[in-house]
Amino acid sequence: MRVIDSHTGGMPTRVILDGGPDLGSGPLAERAHRFATEHEAFYKSVLLEPRGQPGMVGALLVAPEDSECETGVIYFDADAVLGMCGHGTIGLGVTLAHLGRIGPGTHKVETPAGVISVDLLDANTVRVTNIESRRVKASVSVDVEAHGKVTGDLAYGGNWFFIVDPSPIAVDPCNIRALTDLTIAIREACIAQDVLGENGEPVDHVILQDQSHNKNVHSRNFVLCPDDQYDRSPCGTGSSARLACLAADGVLASGEEIVQESVIGSPYRLSYQPGLNGGVIPTLTGQAHIMAEGKLIFAQNDPFRHGIIL
């Protein structure tokens, strides 16, 4: 299996060029469902140690249905198949450029959440225009074990987010363990207390927002992903959901640009345009760097060919 690894603001992406499972044809959302339900062992083996690393997101390239798209892609972490992935798309853009498959300019990419666009601004800088994102419920309170009442917004940006602003714990690298424990407890509370999307979708990511110490940076976030790892980047789909909340609150005008940084200080530039269905069309710009080109080998006699599963 040939792969290219990159990182986007420290968050790793592994693009699978060949050797993935055959998911057939049809809408990408259906192929992603097939991937999630029939190929769990495959996606764990690609991302878990010893071949992968904590937080890593995979990007399986597939044929698009829409012939105008450069490629189709299904993103996944070690625990779930994702609807979309912003940092992964920045990594994908830089990877396709590295391969000579795309040059500067605008390219369409099909994801299970919909068609997005990727602007390659230079060899490392990509602007992603995401699918329409929306706030679904404002100021929802949940009872969180060992923490009490926590209030946040439910929003969609290609994945499902519960966004707490301000964070009860300072969003600082020295608090990563405590932030992880709190966000896992919040996600469990949301699921147990039926904080669900319009069609019963469970919260899969939790965001805690805080102020930044850096001038010209709007805010800093901590984002919990389905695999219980934190996003080293500011999370593209999470930033999209957040933009939808800022727009719904009337505190960020369409076209106004802000900088959002992650808990480790990696920045994205963010803005939005109004969407057709009452939400926002987010734009996020960030940088990725290629780390490795390789071939993964899964020998039959390797006791950890499926990854380290404890």
Catalytic positions, written as ranges: 85, 235
**Nearest distance, CB of residue 119 and ligand PYC, angstroms:** 17
Is position 86 an interface residue for ligand PYC (rule: CB under 6 A)? yes
Q: Among 269, 264, 298, which residue's Cα sits nearest to residue 284?
A: 269
- At 2, which helix (H) or strand (E)? strand 2-8
Q: Among 26, 9, 6, which residue's Cα sits nearest to residue 17?
A: 6
Residue 226 half-sphere exposure toward CB, CA atoms < 13 A = 18
Is position 7 an interface residue for ligand PYC (rule: CB under 6 A)? no
Is position 59 an interface residue for ligand PYC (rule: CB under 6 A)? no
Q: Among 219, 224, 231, which residue's Cα sits nearest to residue 261?
A: 219
Site for ligand PYC in 244-303 (CB under 6 A): none
Is position 56 an interface residue for ligand PYC (rule: CB under 6 A)? no
Identify the residue whose tokens are 């904590």.
54
Binds ligand PYC (CB under 6 A): choice among 15, 48, 57, 258:
57
**Nearest distance, CB of residue 303 and ligand PYC, angstroms:** 29
Q: Report cis status (omega within 30 of 0) of the bond before 166.
A: yes
Nearer to ligand PYC, 54 or 298 (CB): 54
Is position 85 an interface residue for ligand PYC (rule: CB under 6 A)? yes
Binding mask 212-251 for ligand PYC (x = CB under 6 A): -------------x-----x-x-xxx--------------
Q: Among 303, 243, 305, 247, which residue's Cα sits nearest to residue 86?
A: 243
Rounded to whole angstroms, how far apart are CA atoms 114 and 164? 26
Binding mask 154-183 for ligand PYC (x = CB under 6 A): -----x------------------------
Is position 187 an interface residue for ligand PYC (rule: CB under 6 A)? no
Give residues with Cβ within 8 angstroms of 149, minimum separation 6: 141, 142, 143
Q: Which residues contact ligand PYC by CB under 6 A?
A: 57, 82, 85-87, 159, 225, 231, 233, 235-237
